[in-house]
Every structure is written in structure tokens, then in C-alpha cells.
Amino acid sequence: MNDRKKLRRQFLKDSAKASGLMMMAPLVGKIKFIESAQKQKEITRTPNRIKFAVINIDHPHIYGMTDAIKRGGGELIALYAKQPDLAAAFLKTYPEAKAASSEREILEDHGIQLVLSSGIPDERAPLGIRVMQHRKDYLSDKPGIITLEQLAAVKKVQQETNRIYSIMYSERFENKATEKASQLVASGAIGQVMQTVNLAPHRIHNNIGKSGLADRPDWFWDKNRYGGILTDIGSHQFDQYLHFTGSSEAQVLVSQVGNIHHPDKPLFEDFGDVMLSGNGGAGYIRVDWFTPDGLDTWGDGRLTILGTDGYIEVRKNTDIASGNKGGNHLYLVNNKEMVHMDCNNEVLPFGPLFVDDVLNRTETAMTQKHCFLTTELALRAQKDARMMSLKK
């Protein structure tokens, strides 16, 4: 019996060698799990460094935007919103803000330096133009601009007024694992970046967290109002592509969009993807509205950054493979090690840096050129996209 067991073990060893599995075995169990940083306080500037207000809050992203500016030392002064229910909920969260009677009341208040908005997407650029013409800076939810014509008008007024027109790309600025990836890439941890791959699934009926929308408003289904899937949720991914590859010039090689599963909503797009080429690297983007109900978050967003000496994968919102709860997981593999990082202790610098820029007329949070190039790539990909269809 013992001889038979020995023979079986030897047979399994020989089979593993033949298949190459023995070469993989030494790697098993050697991945290190660490916290990327010790628990620390968020970066918070001295309060009341600038005064800011909010106009229009059709998307609850405004809560994260407001919190970021408050971390930077912004003092929230006022809110104007057309919907009484949305306004009441916002003012309950931020009781320090007063309810303005009109947009004009905020625009003509000379003490207010910055305006935030998460209005209906097609209304964001026209509002931003009015804000800049009133000598104030502007931070919009994404997409901040939904047509090339709007982009041209915004760029013209921005150059005339020299005000900041910025867009909150929260999948980079408000995700701690993506912030850690920025630090690692800057330090040379994976060598020169060659490509990014962004996968960004979303859930349509989402009631998770403050940014959730269990029921979508009418404008959500009309691409004339939200700009199309590549313009809308894809804008995050174009931002990350330019940021991580360091590309200052880029072109869309091919793009496609489709309405695969929502025939009752003819002006809606539920799938899109893009291939990009730039002077800093290549990129691939896939966005969709097909997050299944069984997932524990609104979307299993992933970012892979390929470098000459390694790669990084960010699992932004969940990690179904590791069994660890929550998001902000980062995997690093290079010539020295394999590491799984829990990045929940990282701090988010965007808000403080943006308030610094308002005060100092600098571009430390995001350059104006980067903001506009991100938008232009998304708009061109959307405009030139091939319509895809599947056989039923």
C-alpha cells in the first residue's frame, strides 16, 4: 500500500513538471499583504480660506465634491437648486449654507470665489460660462461639457477671463487606491508606463451610498442631455489614461457604443469601448451599465497600469477574489515583489490642492490643459463611435 502511495505521489510530481506547474509553485503564497499607509488624518487646510456656493444638484455627486472643497478649507455659503426636495436634503447635510432665491443671487455675490455644480449635464457648461463671466472659478461634476461646440465656447471664455474651469473626476481624485497608484507610478515602481486598461461597469438602479440613485430621472435616458456613455462615465477613464501615461497628445483609434439591453430607451447607451494612442502610451477603456444585482457595490471598477518593469491593478470598489471587504485594493507586481495593498488609510489631496489653486492661481490639482484634453478625447470618441449591435 505504501509503495502504491509513493508511486502516486511521484506520478503527480512528474505530471506537474511536464505541465509547467512546478515552475509556478514557488510563487504561491509569496504575495505580501500590507496596509499602504498608517492610519492618518485627512489633509485638511485651515477653515474658511475661500467662500464657495453650489448651484444645481441634480446628481448626488455634489456631496463628495462639497466635502472635498471643505477639506481644502472652503466655507460653504449658499445653495441654489430648483428642486425643493433635493435642496432640503442638501441643506440638512450642510446647515451652514443658506438657501439662495436665484442663481443670480450667488453669481452677483462678490464674496463667493468658487461655484460647484452637479446639474443636468447639458446645463453644466452654460452655467460654467456664466460663473466665469462673473469672475468666479467653477468645479463641475462629470461630464462637465457634452458637445464639441460647448467645449469651444468654454475654452474661449476661460481664456478671456483666466478663471478655473475644472471637472471632478472622482474615480481618480476620490479613490484612495488610485491615489496610491499615482504615487507608485511617480516613484518609478513599475518603470515607464506603456498602457492603461480601464474597466468601469456601473449599476443603473443604484441605492448604495450618498452617490446612489435608486430611480433615474428622465434626463438619464436621453443622450442629448447626458452626452452619451463615453462622454459621461467614460470621462473618468480618459482622465486616468492621460494622467498615468503622461500623455500630452493623444488620439482615438477606434470607438463603439451600443444600446444592447434597453430597447424601450432608444436614446440611451449601455455599452461603449475605446482604443487610444498617445505620446505617453496606449489605452483601452470599457464602460457599461451591466453591474449585476449580486455585486456588493455599484460597480467592479478596475484599472490596470502596465509598465516596463511591472504592473499595477487597482480594484476600486470591491475585490471579489481576495475575500477582503470593501474597496481601495491595489496589487503591485514588479521585479522585486508581489504586493497586495489595502489603501484605505491613504489621504485624498484634491480638495486642499484645488483650494490652493483658487487662492494662488496655480494648477496643482489638475492643469487646465489636462481638463480640456480629457474632455476633447471623450467627445471625439463619442462623436465618431460606431454603433454596435448583437444578434438576438
Q: What is the mean pLDDT of the chain?
A: 91
Q: Which range marks the domain in which residue 338 is found? A: 172-350+381-387
Q: What is the pLDDT of residues 16-28, one digit of tens each?
A: 444 343 333 334 4
Domain with 284 in it: what CATH number?
3.30.360.10
Residue 1 confidence (pLDDT) above 60: no
Whether 315 maps to a domain, the answer reads yes
CATH code of residue 150: 3.40.50.720
Domains contained in the chain, number? 2
Question: Does 96 map to a domain?
Answer: yes
Do 203 and 340 reside in the same domain of the chain? yes
> Do 193 and 133 share a structural domain?
no
- Whether 235 is covered by a domain: the verdict is yes
Check if the beta carbon of residue 52 is closer than 8 Å to that of residue 115.
yes
Worst-scoring range by mean pLDDT, 42-46, 62-66, 319-323, 378-382?
A: 42-46
Does residue 195 sit in the same domain as residue 321?
yes
**pLDDT value of position 3:** 54
13 found inside a domain: no
Q: Are residues 217 and 196 part of one domain?
A: yes
Same domain, 64 and 195: no
Q: Are residues 91 and 225 in the same domain?
A: no
Domain assignment present for residue 7? The answer is: no
DSSP code string of 20-73: THHHHGGGTT--EEEESS---PPP-PPS-SEEEEEE--SSTHHHHHHHHHHHTT
Q: Which three cell numbers stand for residue 167?
A: 471637472
Q: 45 falls in which pLDDT band (50, 70, 90)? A: confident
Q: Is residue 373 situated within a structural domain? A: no
Of all residues in the chain, the percent with pLDDT exceeding 90 is 82
Q: Prior bond to 143 cis, omega within 30?
A: yes
Q: Specify if 392 maps to a domain.
A: no
Whether residues 183 and 136 fall in one domain: no
Categorize the per-residue pLDDT at 386 as very low, low, confident or very high, splitting at 50, 70 and 90.
Answer: very high
193-201 and 114-117: which strand pairing?
unpaired
Q: Is the pLDDT of residue 99 over 90?
A: yes
Residues 201 and 70 in one domain: no
This prediction has a pTM of 0.89
Same domain, 163 and 259: no
Together in a domain, 186 and 144: no
Do 327 and 299 share a structural domain?
Answer: yes
Domain end point (choices 169, 202, 227): 169
Coil, helix or strand at residue 86: helix
Determine, yes or no, domain membership for 243.
yes
Same domain, 312 and 224: yes
Query: What is the DSSP code string of 239-287?
Result: HHHHHHHT-SSEEEEEEEEE--S-TT-TT---EEEEEEEETTEEEEEEE
Question: CA 76 to CA 50: how far, in whole Å?
Answer: 9
pLDDT digits (tens, 9 = 90+) for 143-157: 999 999 999 999 999
Q: What is the mean pLDDT of residues 258-284?
A: 97
Of 103, 134, 169, which residue sits at a domain end? Answer: 169
Domain end, chosen from 154, 169, 184, is at 169
